[in-house]
Structure 1
Amino acid sequence: MAILMLFIALGLLGVGIPVAFVFGGAALVAALLSPDVGLEVFNVLPFRIYGIMSNSTLMAVPLFILMGLLLERSGTAEKLLIAMTSMFGSLKGGLAISVVLVGAVLAATMGIVSASVVMMSLIALPLMVRAGYSKELSSGTIAASGTLGQIIPPSVILIILGDVMNISVGELFVGAVLPGLLLVTLYIVYIIVISHLKPHIAPPLSDEDRHGSFASLVWAITPMLALMIVVLGSIFTGIASPSESAAFGVIGAAVLAMLNKTFNPTMLYQSIRETLKLSGMIFMILIGATAFSLVFNELGGTDQVIEFFGNHVDSVWIFIFIAMMVVFILGFFIDFIEISFIIVPILIPVMHAYGIDPLWFAILLAMNLQTSFLTPPFGLSLFFVKGAVGDLVTSGQIYKGIIPFVLLQILALGLVMLFPNLVFAFV
């Protein structure tokens, strides 16, 4: 019944039923059909929900979302992208490199994939196409760079995994720094290599499209770096918790919007409203997932998973490979939030049974979950690019363009698996 319950939930997700209702409904049906469980199992659910709502770690989620939305609407990120493309546009592949660098900076300040991808699609993609860039390379670079916010802190994925796996979010943020920089480096190296092997797909930008200067770049990047240092620096040094740092980040983003003269009641209202929508979605999924996990464990599902790996898998590496493959394949069809709340809790007891370091395993999961934004048919970044630019690129060109970046993400995941010190270097 426990395994059937899991497959029923995944099947309902595939036909488009809202996630929170899928997991909550599957839990309710399974409890009714199982005479040994019954509806009495839900007696403890209100206490679980109260624990979720009073969790100070999860408080950082809506705060970081609000910080990112304020930054997006402040115009600061847009100025940075324009200045960066002007500075690096004279190089082969320079526009694509600029997009990656801006994506990394936005990841360390905004951390919202939708905002990053849409903004870069609207500003950079028309410029890249006009400059003669391959539409595949252009759209693939933008879609992949926008997902860097899922591994480079402050990341919503890392906050959720920290709560689900009972790991310090501050340690997760520190452990994700080098893997995130590794991914940025791999993107840039690939762009440099491909632009020299095939110069026609990434030519230099013409002089008429270059308007910026080094001073404009410094002026654009300094506020973003200052905010990044305040938010991440306070976490890394232990001065503040992630929630407290996120609150500072919201204030900092509001100040930047005031300096850019874009802060007004309408902008603030829209940012808060969108934050409430996104946060409400995440917490409703979490409540549904809590009900699902409650019934799944009561049915003995976790014990069955541990028994399976104990009887059939005698190597820790085989378990890690199976776990990563399952998460990667599920990422084609369901969102990282559902995977984090449903699949990861099933893997945690097995992880402990094999003696795997939770921090390292969490970073591996975060890097794997990042690919779910790029893998068709339901990769969100692909829809964000297409929705932002319309007929400028086709869906086929976007799908073709993200293939090298998905392979680079898998390569980065493999390197972190082989060299765990990439996670523990600064922890």
Structure 2
Amino acid sequence: MDYETISAILVGAGLGLLILRMGPWPGRAPHDAAPMALDLEAQRLRQASEVSPLPMWHTGPDGKLIWANRVYRQIADVSDTDLAFATRRPSKDGKTRVTLPRTVGDIGVDFEISTMPVTGGTAHIATEISAILKAEAARRTFVQTLSKTFADLPIALAVFDKDRRLALFNPALLDLTGLAPTFLSARPDTMSFFDQLRENRIMPEPKSYAEWRQRLADLIKAARDDRYTETWSLPNDRTYRISGRPHPDGAIAFLIEDISSEISLSRRYRAELDCMSAVLDASDKALAVFSGQGELLLTNAGYRRHWQASGRLSRTGASLADEIAGWRKLAGDSEAWQMIRNSVARTSAAGEARIDAGGKQSLDISVSWTPLPHGATLVSFSGDAQAVAAPRKARLAHIAGA
């Protein structure tokens, strides 16, 4: 093997050795290149190729093996795969991938062979790529797992890369937006994507196109900063919630969720509460519901009217102690107040009592308390607390005057 061939192989392998020049050096006479120096240089090049961890070999014009280094010979001794034969028809880029059926020491089973033409034939260098192939396989498996996961999600997903072109989407995006698969497969940019949503009436119609484009730019910027969440009420009585999340390398993911059922349930719940409130207000009794912690949950119109003479307005969230103070102000002290307190605290069961607040006039108030589910307690009053309050105030004034 000549010096030029060895030099080409070593340079292709990335080894930083001197390149042997065939012929006189500029400015020097031919007789300066002593044969001994040439032999020494050739010996050094051979030694470098022998200690190289990469398989290297040289084939002639007919494709037959002319020379090979130690690693190549080591592989050939234990493997049925002929690396020289595998490179007889290299790919257009001069690289061929070969998988060996077994390993030798720390030599991997997968190689990528680079082929370069040299004087008198072709030089070949094999690079071990087992770790690269394993990483590629792991990446493909991970992407497939994500794709299967995204495919089952009811939430539409659209991921745009750092160039703001659609890089990934799931089937739910087709279902929720009605966008054509061909349009999405063409990898539209964010502006085109949201423009098409507007055309499909998936986004609220803007008053002006200029405002719409500015709003869209603001939307993308907010998603990049992880602060974009919006609810879209659509003409077909559907409601979508869209949010934007930043991803590594400048990518942005948009999530579109159909929350129509959630909104409808919330509206029905509100309507039921309004209906229940109307039913309670129609009762001729004064009703109040307390939580297990003694917090006033709701009252009806009769309760607010019944106790308004106490000088305080009962409101949701008030404490049982505050309400009892108001009752005591109009109706005076009564064992019923402690009994109600015990019932709310779940230390006693349901009960009822009569509060004699009218003195000789025998004006009284009937009160009952009933445990409700989830630790709540219903307190019900009958009788006119304001009518009771008048003689009580007069009696207190008489006592004070005496």
Asked if Structure 1 and Structure 2 have the same fold, meaning a TM-score greater than 0.5 normalized by the shorter chain, the answer is no
* Bigger radius of gyration among the two: 2
**Which structure has the highest helix share of the two?**
1
Give the shorter-chain TM-score range: under 0.3
**TM-score, normalization by structure 2:** 0.17
Greater strand content: 2
Higher relative contact order (CA 8 A, sep 6+): 1
